[in-house]
């Protein structure tokens, strides 16, 4: 799997967070006690919605990434939260 991001496909990364409501993880840009993950969000160029890649470092120091569609994570988060 190619973990690099092409500069032509994504905007500059910004600090972001993931929090969970019911069984869905949502992207957030402000600190909150509800946040479970902290990382960098790379927004796809040419979209009005928050679609792109959320990259974070897990507790073991491994870089992980998940796809974001309209502020929500596609699929299941396999890594444990990196915020205590």
Interatomic CA distance for residues 23 and 79, integer angstroms: 15
pLDDT tens digits, one per residue of 1-16: 455 555 568 999 999 9
pLDDT tens digits, one per residue of 37-66: 999 999 999 988 999 999 999 999 999 999
pTM of the model: 0.87
Nearest to 83 by CA among 62, 54, 65, 59: 59
């Amino acid at each position: 799997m190619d973990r690099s991001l092409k500069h032509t496909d994504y905007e500059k990364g910004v600090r972001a967070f993931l929090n969970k409501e019911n069984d869905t993880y949502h992207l957030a840009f402000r600190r909150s006690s509800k946040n479970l993950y902290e990382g960098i969000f790379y927004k796809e160029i040419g979209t009005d919605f928050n679609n792109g890649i959320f990259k974070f470092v897990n507790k073991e120091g491994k870089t992980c990434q998940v796809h974001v569609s309209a502020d929500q994570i596609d699929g299941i988060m396999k890594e444990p939260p990196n915020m205590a």
